[in-house]
Structure 1
Amino acid sequence: MKRLVVGLLVLALLLGAGAVAALVALDDTGTSPSSPPAQSTTPEPGAQDPPRPALATFYSQRLSWSSCRDGDLCATLTVPLDYHHPDGDTLDLALLKVPATGDRIGSLVVNPGGPGAPGTDYAANASSVFRDPITRAFDVVGFDPRGTGDSDPVDCLTDDELDQYVAEDPDPDTAAEAAQYLHWVDAFGRGCPERSGELAAHVTTVEAARDMDVLRAALGEAQLDYFGASYGTKLGATYADLFPDRVGRLVLDGAVDLSISSRELSLEQAAGFETALRAYVSDCVAGGDCYLGDTVDAGLARIRSFLDQVDAEPLPTSEADRTLQVGNAFYGVVLPLYNRDYWPYLDQALKAGLDGDGTLLLRFSDLYNSRGPSGYTDNSTEAQYAINCLDDPYAIPASRVPANVPDFEQASPTFGRVFAWGLTTCGGMQVTATEHDRHVDAKGAPPIVVIGTTRDPATPYEWAVHLADQLDSGVLVSRDGDGHTGYNAGNACVDSAVEDYLIDGTVPEDGLSC
C-alpha cells in the first residue's frame, strides 16, 4: 500500500457525519461523555506467560490507569524497540480505555487503521464508533501503535514540508511537476531515519502485532478480543498468525487483502474509489438537476476537469496565506467518499470550488491529513509512509510509470494516473526492516469474522473475500452498501452478526449476505 493507500483507510472510522458537518459550519467545539471508573482486573491464569523468557519483564507489567481527556482512562505500556534484542531500548505506547457501562465481560482492543491513526482517539470515540451492546459489555481499549500518535511518533518532515507534500500534484503532468514529485519521494525516504533515528526501522506491522500481545497480557486477558478496521484488519490478521492460541474473538472490518502484490492492491483500490465516485455522481444525477451534469459520465468529466483547472490555477480560500492546490483538492474530494452521509458536504464543497472558492475542499484535505489551524495534530501522514514502506518497500522508477498508466486508467478513468504515480512512493526508503511481512493464514486460530462492503472505496469488497479465504478460520460477512467498513453503518444484519459474535460467541454463517 503506497502513496494513496496510506491514509485512505482511516478517516471515516474516526469521523461521523456530525463531525464533517461541524467542519463545514466552522464549529470545532465538542465534549465527550464522562466514563465510570475502571474496574480492577486480575490476570487470568496463563495470561502473562511470555512467548520467550527474555520477554518476561514486559509480559508481567501491570497497567496504572489514571483519568484523562473527558473522563476516560489512560496508561502507558512499555515494549522493546527490537524484539530480537529485548534487553535494548524500549518504547512507551499510549493507551486509552473507555470502561464498560454495563455488565463487563472483558476488554476489546480496537484499531482504526491507517496505518498511522491514533488508536486512542478511536477508543475515545467508542460511543459513536460502537453501538450500545458493545460499550455496555466491553472495556474498549485503544492504543497508538509504535511510531504513531503519542507512542514515540516517527518524524520524517517538518510541518511546512508536509504542507508542500500534501499540496503537490499527485498526478504530475509536466517535467517540473514530476521532478517535484520525485523530490518528495527522496525527501521522505531520507527524512525518516534522519529525524527519527533507529525508530524508523522498527515500526512494522509485525512488531505492532507483537506489541498487541504484550498489551493483552497487561490487560490480564488470556485471549485477545479485537476489532480492527481497514489497515487494522492487517494488524489483526498478523496477530492471529503470530499468536493463534491467544486469539479470542476477532472482527476484521473493511479488510485488506494480504495475498496480492502491492501493484495489484493499488490497482484494485483505484477501481474502488472510481466505483465510489460513480455511486456519488449517480445519486446526484438520479436526484434531478444535478450540479455536475445530466449523466454520470458528464459528472465525472466535470470533476476531472475541475481538478485540472485547480492544477493550472489554485483557488483562493478564507484561510490566511493558503490556497487550494490540486493535491488538497484531490484529498478534499476523496474524503467524503468514505461515508454516504458525507455526500451532501461534498456537494457543498464542490459547488463552492466550481464557483471559485476552495475553502471547504481545503478543510476536508486538512481533516484527511490531520492538519489543524496551527499545524498537524498527529503524525499519521508520516507514520503511514514509514509503516507501509517498511512492510513492503516495493516501488517502481518514474520511467516505468507511463507503462503502468493504461491499466490504472482502465481501473479508474478519474483517479488512475494518481495511483500509477503512487507506485513510486517507497523508492526513496533508506532503512530496512528487521521484521518482514508474513504469509498469513492464522492456522489453529478460532473463527475470525471478516466484513466486506460491496462499494467500499478504500478497501474493495474483493479484499474481504480474499482475506476470509486466506485465513484458515475466516468467516465472511458481506454488506451491500456504500462507504468504508460495514459495522455500525445502518445495516442491522451486520450489526447483529458482530455483536452476537463478540458478546455471546455466536459465529455467523460463513458467507452471510446483509
Structure 2
Amino acid sequence: MLCFCLSTLNTTHSQNQQELSPTLIQWGSCDPSVVNDTSLTCGFLDVPLDYHDSSAGTARLALIKANATGERRGTVFFNPGGPGGSGLAFLNDIKDTLLGLTGGVYDIVGWDPRGVGNLTMPGEIFCFDTLEEYEAFFNGTIELTGIEETGNFANASDVQALFNQAPIMQAKYEELGRRCLNSPNGRYLRYIGTAATVRDMVSIADALEGPGTPINYLGISYGTLIGSWFINVFPERVGRVVFDGVIDPVFFSTHETSLNVASLLVSTDTIYKALVTGCALSGPSGCAAAAEGDGPLDVDAKVQALLKAAYDAEKANTSVPITSGQIRVQLNGELYSPSDWSHFMNLVYPNLVKQVEAEAPDPVSPLLQSENIVPRHTTTNRRVTKRLGTVNNSPSYTLPAIFCADSPDVHGTTMTDVFEAVIAGTRNVSHMFGSAWPSPLYECSFWPVRSVERYGGPFDKTPANKILIASNIFDPITPLPRAQAVADRLGGNAVLVQMNGFGHTTLAEPSKCMEDIMAAYMVDGTLPANGTVCEADADFEVFDGVNTSAILANLLDGGA
C-alpha cells in the first residue's frame, strides 16, 4: 500500500492548506437528531479528500462549537476517541466537563471525522444493509456467540474448537473486507484515517484562528494517537495539548494490531478484581451479587460460577440465548466506567443469572443464588453487542476503517495466528478477558485497504509548547505503561500525571485534582511536577458507601 511520510511534506502541506482553507465557517443551529443542547452551534467545512491529489475531490466535515464562558482566548479542539467517536455527540453530552477542564476561556470545537456519523462526508461505514443481513452472514460463528472457554484455555477441547473456526472466520473476514469495499462509502476507505484527521484539524484551525497559529487540543483514547501524529508532524503549531488514556504511536506503527491485543489488557484482571472488591465492601444492601459476610473472593466465585453455568449450557445446547462468551464481553465493557459498576451488579448481573438458570441443563450451583436477585424485564440479545449504527441497526465498521487502515500492513497473517495470540493472551495476560471476542482490532490483519497517507515517525520531535499527559493507574485498554512510554520519549517536553483510579481515561472517575491540573495548564500554561499523582474524589461512590480509595486499599491488602 502507498504510504506518504508526513514529516517530509510539512512545508508543502502548510502552503496548500492556506490556499485551500476558507476564511470563515458559518455557524448556525445544530441537527436536533444529533445535538439537543441549543447553546451549541454547528457548521461545515469543505476540505481536500486527498491533500496531495486535488483531483480526488473534497470531503465535508460537520463541526460543533461550545462558546467560552469567560474572556475568550482562542479555541481548543477535542476528539473523543474510538476511533469513530462523534465529536458532535460527545460535546453535546459533556460540554460542561470540557469547559471546566479548559478553564472556560476557550471555545471548544469538535467535529465528526471522516467516516463518522451521517453529517460528515464521507460518513459512517456500513458493510451490511440490515442487522438481519449481518447476523445471517456470521451465523454459527464466534462473531455472534463469543469464544467459549473456562478460563486460561485449560481445556484442550476449547482450544481445538477455536482452531476449528479459524478457516471459517478468516474466510468471513476476507469476505467482509470485500463487502466494505463495495459498500456505498467503500471508495472512500483509502481517504479515511488519522493522517487525514490531523490535516483536517489543521484546516479547521486555519479557518477559525488563521494559518500558522498555535493549535490547542484535548484528545482522549484514540484521540491521543491523533495528538501524537499532530505534535510530531506539526511541532511548530503545538499550543496547549492534553493527552488522556494514551496509545503509544511507536508501538502502534510497528506492531500488527491483531496479534497484540493482549498487550492492551494488562490491567483488565486487576480492574475486575476492583469491581468484585467494591461489591463485597458494599455488601448485600449495595450489591446484589454479595451476601452478608462475603469477601471479594466470594463475589468472584459467583461470577465464575455464572460463566461456567453458561458455558455448560452452551455445550449442551448451542442454541441457548446467552453464552459465557457474551457475558465475558459484556463484563469487559463494564471495566471502562466505574460509574456503571453498581448498575451492572444490581440490575444486569441478576438478569444474567435468571437467564442462565433458565437455560441450564442441570441445577445451577448454589454460588449463583442470592436473595437479592430481582427479576428484570429486559433481555440480553444472543448477538454480542457490537457497533450498532443508524442504518437499520446495522453494525458500523468505522472503527476498523480508521484504525486498521492506519495500522501496519503485514501480509500472510492467518486467523490461526490470531487465535494463537488470543490463547496466549488469555493464559499469560488476562485470564478473564483475553478471550473476549469479537473486537474490531482483530479485523486489521484482513482489512482490505490502507490509508493513502500514514505516519510512521519519528515521535520525539520538539513541540513549540510542552504537553500534559494523563493516565489512570488501571485503564482497561490504554494501560499506564503506554502513557509512560510517550512521556519518556518526549522527555522534558511533556509531564505525566497519574490518577489513582480505574476505568478508561481519567474522565471515568471525577477528580478535582485532575480537573484543576488540566485547567491550570490550559489557562496559564502551568504544569505540575513530574510524578504528581491525583486521587478520585472521595465523595464519588462506586457502590453505596464505597469509594475508589477504599477499593484500592483493599486491593493492596489482597483483594480478589
- The verdict on a shared fold, with TM-score over 0.5 as the criterion, is yes
Match for residue 83 of structure 1?
Answer: 51
Question: Counterparts of 1:413 and 1:234 in 2: how far apart (Å)?
Answer: 28
| Paired position in structure 1 for 2:196 | 207
Whichever residue aligns with residue 435 of structure 1, its letter is: E
Which digits, 9 at most, give the CA deviation of each residue in 1:262-302, with x for residues without a partner? 46852232222222211101212233456268454554454
Show CA shifts across 1:308-367 (max 9, x none). 6546768xxxxxxx9556665344323322222111111120111111178757489998
Instruction: Measure, in 2, the Cα distance between the counterparts of 1:311 and 1:391.
Output: 36
- Counterpart of 2:69 in 1: which secondary structure? coil
**1:258 aligned to 238, 249, 260, which one?**
249
Equivalent residues in 2 for 1:11-50, closer than 5 Å: none
Asked if structure 1 preserves the Cα contact closer than 8 Å seen for 2:83 and 2:402, the reply is yes
Distance 1:249 1:465, change over 3 A: same
Give the 3-state SS of the residue equivalent to 2:226 in structure 1.
helix
Task: Tell me if the contact between 1:332 and 1:364 (Cα under 8 Å) persists in the aligned partners.
Answer: no
1:414 aligns to what SS in structure 2? coil
2:341 aligns to what? Answer: 343
> Residue 462 of structure 1 corresponds to which residue in structure 2?
481
Counterpart of 1:513 in structure 2 is 533
Aligned match for 2:464, one of 436, 445, 449 = 445
Partner amino acid, structure 1, of 2:336: Y
Residue in structure 1 matched with residue 71 of structure 2 by the alignment: 103
Whether the 8 Å CA contact 1:100–1:137 is kept in 2: the answer is: yes
Query: Are 1:409 and 2:385 an aligned pair?
Result: no
User: 181-190 vs 297-306, which deviates more?
Assistant: 297-306
Q: Name the CA distance, whole Å, in 2 between partners of 1:388 and 1:330.
A: 24
Give me the TM-score of the superposition, normalised by structure 2: 0.73
Higher mean displacement: 185-194 or 455-464 = 185-194
How far the C-alpha of 1:244 sits from its partner, in A, is 0.7
1:431 deviates by 1.7
The equivalent of 1:157 in structure 2 is 128
Name the SS for the 1:96 alignment partner.
strand
Q: Paired residue for 1:64?
A: 26
TM-score by length of 1: 0.79
Residue 401 of structure 2 is aligned to residue 386 of structure 1: yes
Match of 1:93 in 2: 61
Residue 207 of structure 2 corresponds to which residue in structure 1? Answer: 218
Amino acid of the structure 2 residue aligned with 1:349 = V
Further displaced range: 451-460 or 50-59: 50-59
Aligned-pair Cα RMSD in Å: 3.3
Following TM superposition, by how much is the alpha carbon of 1:371 offset from its aligned partner in structure 2, in angstroms?
5.5
Q: Whose radius of gyration is greater, 1 or 2?
A: 2
Q: What amino acid is aligned across from residue 332 of structure 1 in structure 2? A: Q
Cα distance change, pair 51–384 in 1 and its aligned pair in 2 (3 A) = same
Matched with 2:280 is 285
For 2:261 and 2:311, the matched residues in 1 are separated by 23
Structure 1 contact 130–488 (Cα < 8 Å) conserved: no
Unaligned runs of 5+ in 1: 1-48, 315-321
Task: Report the secondary structure of 1:146's partner residue.
Answer: coil
Counterpart of 1:384 in 2: which secondary structure? Answer: helix
Partner Cα separation in structure 1 for residue 73 and residue 382 of structure 2: 39
Cα pair 2:499 2:514 within 8 Å, conserved: yes
The residue correspondences of 1:487-502 to structure 2 (distance < 5 A) are 487=507, 489-502=509-522
Structure 2 residue 415 is the aligned partner of structure 1 residue 426: no
- Is the deviation greater in 113-122 or in 261-270? 261-270
Shift of 1:383: 0.8
Aligned residues of 1:58 and 1:78 also touching (Cα < 8 A): no
Shift of residue 243, structure 1, vs aligned partner? 0.7
| Residue 236 (structure 2) aligns with | 245
Aligned to 1:15: none
**Contact 1:98–1:126 (8 Å) recurs in 2:** no
Corresponding position of 1:354: 353
Deviation per CA, 1:235-281, whole angstroms, max 9, x where unpaired?
A: 11111111111111000011112232346852232222222211101
SS in 1 for 2:464: coil
Per-residue CA deviations over 1:9-35 (Å, capped at 9, x if unaligned) read xxxxxxxxxxxxxxxxxxxxxxxxxxx
Between the aligned partners of 2:464 and 2:197, the Cα distance in structure 1 is: 19
Structure 2: which amino acid aligns with 1:81? Answer: L
CA 258–297 in structure 1, closer or farther in 2 if over 3 Å, else same: farther
The one-letter amino acid of 1:502's match is: M
In 2: Cα distance, 1:238 partner to 1:476 partner:
18
What is residue 3 of structure 2 aligned with on the other side?
none
Identity %: 26
What is the distance in 2 between the residues matched to 1:304 and 1:259? 37
Instruction: Provide the C-alpha distance between the structure 2 equivalents of 1:368 and 1:135, rounded to a whole number of angstroms.
Output: 36
**Code of the aligned partner of 1:76:** F
Q: What is the deviation of 1:118?
A: 0.8
Between the aligned partners of 1:366 and 1:96, the Cα distance in structure 2 is 32
Whole-Å separation in 1 of the counterparts to 2:268 and 2:503? 10
In 1, Cα distance between the equivalents of 2:477 and 2:401?
Answer: 19
Partner of 2:360: none
CA distance, structure 2, for counterparts of residue 429 and residue 199 of structure 1: 14
More divergent stretch after superposition (78-87 vs 323-332): 323-332
Matches within 5 A, 1:313-332: 324=322, 328-332=326-330
Report Cα offsets for 1:363-397 as digits up to 9, x if no partner.
Answer: 89998734579625xx7x41101111111145841
| Secondary structure of the corresponding residue to residue 56 of structure 2 | coil
The residue that corresponds to 1:37 in the other structure is none
**8 Å Cα contact 1:77/1:92 also seen in 2:** yes
Structure 2 distance, partners of 1:383, 1:127, is: 24
Determine the C-alpha separation between the residues in 2 that align with 1:63 and 1:421.
37
- Give distance in 2, aligned partners of 1:216 and 1:490: 30
CA distance in 2, matches of 1:416, 1:278: 15
CA contact (8 A) 1:54 1:86 kept: no
Q: Return the match for 1:170 from 146, 154, 159.
A: 146
Cα distance in 2, alignment partners of residues 191 and 100 from structure 1: 44
Residue aligned with 1:259, SS: helix
Aligned residues: 456
Larger deviation: 300-309 or 70-79? 300-309
Paired AA for residue 218 in structure 1? A
